[in-house]
Amino acid sequence: MEKLEQLYEGKAKKVYRTDSPDLLIVDYKDDATAFNGLKKGTIGGKGVINNQMSNRLMQILEQHGVPTHFVKELSQRETLVRKVRIVPLEVIVRNISAGSFSKRYGVEEGMVFDAPTVEFSYKNDELGDPLLNTDHALALKLATAEEIDTIRNYALQINEILKQFWLECGVTLVDFKLEFGRMDDGTIILADEISPDTSRLWDIKTGEKLDKDRFRRDLGGVEEAYEEIMKRLVDHETK
Ligand code: TMP
Ligand code: ASP
């Protein structure tokens, strides 16, 4: 499968057309941004790690019956994926307070929830991805009620699968962001990526942050954290 012209360049990935109308190639970059692009940098080796980690996690999800866009890893940074129309919702699942949740509601990071929360943001960079509820999403016609229901159920199912997987790697899954897409026939599948860019991952023993918060908050040891979390995944495979 060959890369044809570039269709799109995002903050962390480039997307290319292929000779199949149903398939795209994504190419993961080392570029990192935060705060809606205000903070910019690079994280050496991130593209390779995010590509490989996202693909591995999506394969695990597929084994558990969650449909994803993953088709085939083509190289260290490139993956063949199903073409979808992205539902313009950022779907965030939280198990523990952190980040914008802590800020918005004035609670410390690390408060363990009795049950996971699912929240939606409107995927719109100009507006800064504002938080919205299901009624707002319906009013804006971002998705149908049935689609939102499907997305919510998948998000919670994915949380259970990933929480257990990371636990086995000695890692607490604090929160993460998902994006879903529609195939031509309207079927909803998981798209985008699942990586340390889009998840909060804390070492179970020390609480050390092994994710993009090290970059967002200038904590240092950014590359090392990405390498460490990748190592945990690889070690789990070879156990
Ligand atoms: P938040 O606490 O900043 O809302 O982030 C929640 C989770 O979503 C966290 O794991 C990081 C991820 N995330 C993204 O993947 N993209 C984004 O643009 C933002 C703001 C968060
Ligand atoms: N990547 C996002 C941005 O630049 C934000 C983040 O991950 O914190 O907007």
Given pLDDT bands bounded at 50, 70 and 90, which one contains residue 9? very high
What average pLDDT does the segment 111-117 reach? 98
- Does ligand 1 come within 6 angstroms of the Cβ of 200? yes
- Does ligand 2 come within 6 angstroms of the Cβ of 33? yes
157: tokens are 């199912």
In the prediction, which pLDDT does 156 show? 99
Closest-CA residue, ligand 2 atom 7, reads 34
Q: Which of 9, 29, 35 maximizes ligand 2 atoms within 8 Å of its Cβ, making it the mutation to test the pocket?
A: 35
Domains defined along the chain, listed by start: 3-82 (3.30.200.20), 85-237 (3.30.470.20)
Q: What is the whole-number distance in angstroms between the Cα of residue 96 and the centre of ligand 2? A: 20
**CB count, 10 Å around CB of 208?**
15
In the prediction, which pLDDT does 1 show? 81
In the prediction, which pLDDT does 15 show? 98
Closest-CA residue, ligand 2 atom 5, reads 34
In the prediction, which pLDDT does 180 show? 99
**Is it the case that residue 105 has pLDDT exceeding 90?**
yes
Residue among 197, 149, 205, 206 nearest 175 (CA): 197
In the prediction, which pLDDT does 154 show? 99
In the prediction, which pLDDT does 222 show? 98
What average pLDDT does the segment 21-40 reach? 97
How distant, in Å, are the alpha carbons of 45, 201, 213, 214 from that of 110?
A: 29, 12, 14, 16
How far is Cα 198 from Cα 201, in angstroms, rounded to an integer?
10
**Could you report the per-residue pLDDT of 51-62, keeping only the tens digit for each?**
999 999 999 999
**Is it the case that residue 149 has pLDDT exceeding 90?**
yes
Given pLDDT bands bounded at 50, 70 and 90, which one contains residue 161? very high
Strand intervals (E) in the chain: 6-9, 13-17, 23-28, 31-34, 39-42, 70-73, 78-82, 85-86, 89-96, 112-122, 131-132, 171-182, 188-191, 199-203
- Does ligand 2 come within 6 angstroms of the Cβ of 6? no
How distant, in Å, are the alpha carbons of 17, 133, 214 from that of 195?
A: 23, 25, 14
